[in-house]
Structures are given as structure tokens and as C-alpha cells.
Structure 1
Amino acid sequence: MSSFSASQEELDFPLVTVAGVQMKPKVGRKAENLESTLRFIEAAADQGAQLIVLPELSNSGYVFASRKEAFSLAESIPDGPSTQAWLEIAARRNVTIVAGISERDGERLFNSAVVVGPKGLLGTYRKLHLWGDEHLYFEAGDKGLPIFHTEFGRLAVVICYDGWFPEVYRLLAMRGADIVAMPTNWVPMSGQPENTPAMANTLAMANAHSNALNIVCANRVGIERGQAFIGQSLIVGAQGWPLAGPASYDKEEILFANINLKSTRQARSLNVFNHVLRDRRDDIYDPMLGTGWPRPRH
């Protein structure tokens, strides 16, 4: 498990300690997976983490053999056993948790992330952009891009392939997000040259920089039913540079970083002339991308 430290300059302002958990869920072994998540949450809380991010589908595993199997592993929110366990530990350890979960809503399934805090359920995010065989099991998300208001700042969530769409990060920045939690199950990308950063890491860094967002990417490791996962979890600061990681390719571990929210909001000013949100040419394109969300105020 990785450790972290803060400079004296950082300590002059309130910090948020975030943790990204890199773990190895096992498809179909829900009780074992849930126990692993609780063990990692305890370990992260012991080192002072206030926000803890778990991987995509952390309680169920990822590579389903059929929709019937996917349905059997899904849970309702907040009544299911995984969310109930995360609610209990969040209250007991005074932490906020973002956990990937296979969500059942009636006859529909969603690749979701539940957000729980010390005072209870904050909400659910449903993955907007489905990848590969996910189309066989899940519905595309129908809750948009919510902002979760926490005691340490404005939190948003994306899941894995959502991070390939710059519109997502821009809208979250426009809506005032400070930190984006990304539960993910990154897989190898075809055509990647050797000795280059993972495409997912490059995209996270680019989108963090162009929107002044902190992004906590929590990936999984291992091979599941022939599908490899690449690890390399990452925490990126609002200027686009890594604060922790990339993690290893194949080991379970926890990344930690301290985030300064004052510096985060200041990072949108690149210099005395340029601001990454104010400089948008909204005379040329819709500042809110046609979503109907209120026009931002600066």
C-alpha cells in the first residue's frame, strides 16, 4: 500500500485526503469481493483518507457469462447488502465512499457507482457510455451527470469509458465539480506502442488539465475469464499532473493524495490572461452543450 506526504505549503490550506483502491474482484464471488472492499476501506481510513474510490463493478466482477448471471449478481440501491455494508462503514469511519456496483432497478440493470458518506446515501451515478459486451447486460445511464455535495467539496463520478468523452469533464467543470471519482476496469488498448503511458492515464491527465479537475482513477487488476485488466490506477491533480501513481500493472494497492481545493479552483486561471472556462468561445458553441442545464456564472 502506497503512502503519501504533504508539503508545508499545502498544509497552509485545508486538504482533502483521497484514496484510490486498486483491487482484484472475482466474478460471481460477491461475499468475498465485498469483504475485500471493506478491508481496503478500513486500511485507507486508517491512513486518513476522507474520500475512498473503489473500482468499477467492485462487488460483482466484470466479465459476465450471460445476462442471467449479470442479473443474479446485481443489487438494488440502497437496500442491497453491498450498499448497506458501505453505508455502515462510511458512518463508522467518517468517510465518503464511491463504489462501482451492478445495480438492479426492477428488470433493468445499470453499471453504477453508489456514493455514500458519514450521514448516509448521497446518490447514485449510472454509467453513460457502455463498453463492449456491457451493451448485452446494462442499460445506458439515465441520471445524467449529478454533482454530490460533500463537506469537503463538490464531487462528481464517471465510470471507465465515460472518460473517453471530453464533453463529460467539461460539463462537470461547468457545474462546479472539484473532484471526479472514476471507478474503472481499464483493459489493454489495441495498437499502443511499448513504453508509452496507458491511454486512460493520458486522457485523465489531459482532461484534468483542460478543466482544472482532480480525478481519482481506481482500476482493477487480474485476468477474468480471459480478459486482462491493466491496473495503473492514478490520481491526477487539477493542473493535470499525477499526484499519485500510476500504480502497478498487477498488484493490489492503495494510492493516496492530498488535494487542495483552493488551489484546484485557482488552477482554472492558467495565467493573468487565460482561464480554461472563461476563455470558451460561447458565441460559437453552446457553453452547456445543449443539455439545458443553467448557464454558468463566473
Structure 2
Amino acid sequence: MTGRVTVAAVQTRPVIGEVDVNLAAIAEAVTQAAERGATLVVLPELCTTGYVFASREEAAALAEEIPSGPSTRFLTGLSARLGVHLVAGIAEREGDLLYNSAVLLGPDGHLGTYRKVHLWDNENTIFEPGNLGLPVFDTAFGRLGMLICYDAWFPEAFQALALQGVDAVCLPTNWVPIPGQQPGKPAMALSLCQAAAHVNSIHVIAADRVGTEREQPFIGQSIIVGPTGWPLTEPAGSQDPETVLATADLTDGRRLRRWNTHNDPLANRRPEVYAPYGDRP
């Protein structure tokens, strides 16, 4: 492991359907992050296409195969040119099937793909649920996992990655206002990221988007959280594109996971107690 690295959550404002425009904005923002020392850069959910598709047909026209599609190849080249690892949300096509996906790219190419498991609202009419499980990928600076947006509302997803030894979860997201959210107050999503980081002793790098797309507002507040659950950065704002950066040793959670002589939340799990309750039918 290489020790401390600088990670960036890049908050963008995609334009629906304008892939070339979005890729140009991404390239500028990622280049600036790399110039500030970033080694791992996380981008929002569906950052190349926009999010609010009018129909499955519109999404299909913008989706691409991974890793051979044009957006993925562009981002792979960007990663290689800048010498960074990059996580980005992509609309993926596999045959007639569509997935809300995220790719992990490194200077040497495509390292892996994650397909969103928990679909939000109208995504259920456009995408298939992810079928690649919750993979973990080894890098020179730690073990990385990926989740996407609504996945963060499921503690089991973070825990499943932690039980596989993940050091950091990269979370491309498109957070929207939720009931009870007060203007000017931190989003509930920030609390979820902090809780997941804390109870699993992992880093969480959440990159959100901003702007309003087809009357749907997005709330920004991208954040990087350390393995104690405390943010390593102030959250980004809620209105404008912005990049937040933090320098950390992503493997610190392996040491910090043991809170004292007796307590390690992953080791202290009692699956035999939980098992009788099962899942709801």
C-alpha cells in the first residue's frame, strides 16, 4: 500500500442528453482535481448522460456498453493521461438490458463495474436491478467498493462490503430532497454516509450533482467521510459545481475498527440472533 492519498468528490451539473458537454465539464473538473493532488476521483451518478430520462427508449439511446462505449473510453483515456483512479456513473447497455452502473477506471484501464442494486422511483421502469453483487477491487492504495445513491439507505450493502475487507466505498449519487428536509440544513444522506463509515470503520466518498433537470432539483452536498464517521471535509454546497478533497490513508479503518479491548462492530456481530427474524416476504 502507498499510504496517504488525496481523494476528490467532484460535484457536477450534467445536462440531460448532452454527453459531449458533460464529458467536457468532467474532464475540466477532474484535471483540476488531479492538479490539486487527487489520486482517486469520484463523479456523480449518471454523470455523462443526466438522470431524468423521459422514457426507457431515451435512456437506451444514451446507454453504452462497458468498457467499450464512447464515454467509458473517454474517461479511461482521461484516467490514463492524468494518472488517477476514477469512479463514474454510467448508463450501461448489455444487449436489450439497461443498468444504472458505476465504473472503476485506473491508469491501466477498466478495473471493474458495479450495477445499482436498489433502484429509486422511476428507475424501476427504465433499468434492471444490478446483478453483479457487491464486488470489491484491490488497488495500490486500498480496497474499493462502489454503491450508487439509494443503495446508501441499506445498511446491509455497506456491511457486506466491509465484511469483504473494503477500505473505502465510492458513492456516485444524485440526491434529491426528501420529506421533512429543511432548506439550509444538512441532507439526511450525509447522516447515512457518516453512520455507515462509523459502524463499519470505512471511508465513504460521496459525489453528488446539482441543478434542476426536468423540474427535479438535486441537492449537492458531496462529502468525504473518514472511518470514525467524522467528515474529512466540509460538505460541498447545494447549488454549484464544486470539488471537495481530503488526504487520508484509506487503510486506517483496519486499525481503527477495533475500538477497545472488547469492541469491534464487525467482529461483535451476532448473526445467529438476527437470523430468526429473516427478511420480510
TM-score per shorter chain, which class?
over 0.9
> 2-side partners of 1:229 and 1:194: how far apart?
13
> 2-side partners of 1:97 and 1:156: how far apart?
12
Cα-to-partner distance string for 1:103-150 (whole Å, 9 max, x where unaligned): 011111100001110111101100000001101110000000000111
2:79 aligned to which of 79, 90, 103:
90
Give the aligned partner of residue 237 of structure 1.
Answer: 226
Give the aligned partner of residue 81 of structure 1.
Answer: 70
Cα-to-partner distance string for 1:164-184 (whole Å, 9 max, x where unaligned): 000001111000000100000
User: Aligned Cα RMSD in Å?
Assistant: 1.5
Cα-to-partner distance string for 1:74-114 (whole Å, 9 max, x where unaligned): 11111111111111111121110000010011111100001
Gaps of 5+ in 2: none
| SS class of match (1:284) | helix
| Contact 2:101–2:115 (CA under 8 A) maintained in structure 1 | yes
Give the aligned partner of residue 107 of structure 1.
Answer: 96
> 2-side partners of 1:19 and 1:49: how far apart?
6
1:133–1:274: structure 2 CA closer, same or farther, 3 Å change rule? same
Cα offset for 1:14? 2.0
The answer to whether structure 1 residue 260 and structure 2 residue 249 are counterparts is: yes
Match of 1:79, as an amino acid? S
> 2-side partners of 1:149 and 1:134: how far apart?
30
1:154 aligned to which of 103, 120, 143:
143
| SS class of match (1:244) | coil
Cα offset for 1:265? 1.2
**Paired residues for 1:149-228 under 5 Å:** 149-193=138-182, 196-228=185-217
Cα offset for 1:194? 5.1
Cα offset for 1:193? 4.1
| SS class of match (2:37) | coil
> 2-side partners of 1:103 and 1:226: how far apart?
24
| SS class of match (1:261) | coil
Gaps of 5+ in 1: 1-12, 291-298
1:194–1:225: structure 2 CA closer, same or farther, 3 Å change rule? closer
| SS class of match (1:63) | coil
Larger mean CA deviation between 255-264 and 192-201 belongs to 192-201
Cα offset for 1:73? 0.8
Cα offset for 1:262? 4.3
1:24–1:195: structure 2 CA closer, same or farther, 3 Å change rule? closer
Cα offset for 1:270? 1.4
The answer to whether structure 1 residue 22 and structure 2 residue 11 are counterparts is: yes
The answer to whether structure 1 residue 56 and structure 2 residue 83 are counterparts is: no
Alignment: residue pair count? 276
Q: Percent identity, aligned pairs only?
A: 51
Cα offset for 1:273? 1.9
Cα offset for 1:50? 0.8
1:138–1:21: structure 2 CA closer, same or farther, 3 Å change rule? same
| Contact 2:3–2:141 (CA under 8 A) maintained in structure 1 | no
Match of 1:75, as an amino acid? E
Match of 2:129, as an amino acid? A
Larger mean CA deviation between 242-251 and 54-63 belongs to 242-251
Cα offset for 1:195? 5.3
Give the aligned partner of residue 34 of structure 2.
Answer: 45
| SS class of match (1:103) | strand
Q: TM-score, normalised by structure 2?
A: 0.95
Match of 1:108, as an amino acid? L
| SS class of match (2:117) | coil
